[in-house]
């Protein structure tokens, strides 16, 4: 059966990396399709040029496909996959902190001109499972291709 051969070749880690590639690819496409929207000024990741933001999602997606198929360079693939969600987590947390600072008069000095994002904590939390998925793949114990031969 071809699917069993593929499953044996990819393993759990390979399938997780392919899922990451799919999700990262979709997020990059979403950025590309909504390029005209700036949004809240406190969302720092939106200040990056659209081509850079798309590349931060698509390049790791391609590396994840390579890593899944070739079963090599896992540290590089892991690092690449973590960068974009980590940037978003930091950006959304900052936007939430600016909202808190805007709501609490004593903290107004932190971000006097930005209203912030009240749901920034939620958006940051929504990106944490992406990082967790990558770390699960990185720490899954599987034979390397050399050991399987």
User: According to the model, what pLDDT value does residue 149 have?
Assistant: 44
Residues of the chain with confidence (pLDDT) below 50: 1, 144-149
Domain ranges of the chain: 2-141
For 66-86, b/e burial (b = at least 16 CB within 10 A) is: bbbeebeebeebbebbbebbe
pTM greater than 0.75: yes
pLDDT digits (tens, 9 = 90+) for 30-62: 999 986 666 777 888 988 999 999 999 999 999
């Amino acid at each position: 059966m071809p699917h069993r051969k593929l499953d044996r070749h990819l393993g759990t880690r390979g399938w997780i990396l392919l899922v990451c590639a799919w999700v990262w690819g979709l997020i990059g496409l979403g950025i590309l399709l909504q390029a005209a929207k700036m949004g809240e000024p406190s969302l720092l990741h939106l200040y990056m040029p659209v081509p850079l933001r798309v590349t931060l999602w698509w390049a790791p997606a391609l590396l994840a496909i390579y890593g899944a198929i070739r079963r090599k360079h896992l540290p590089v693939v892991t690092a690449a996959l973590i960068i974009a969600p980590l940037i978003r987590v930091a950006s959304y947390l900052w936007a939430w902190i600016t909202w808190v600072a805007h709501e609490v008069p004593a903290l107004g000095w932190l971000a006097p001109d930005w209203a912030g994002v009240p749901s920034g904590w939620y958006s940051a939390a929504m990106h944490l499972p992406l990082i967790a998925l990558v770390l699960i793949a990185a720490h899954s114990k599987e034979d390397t291709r050399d050991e399987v031969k």
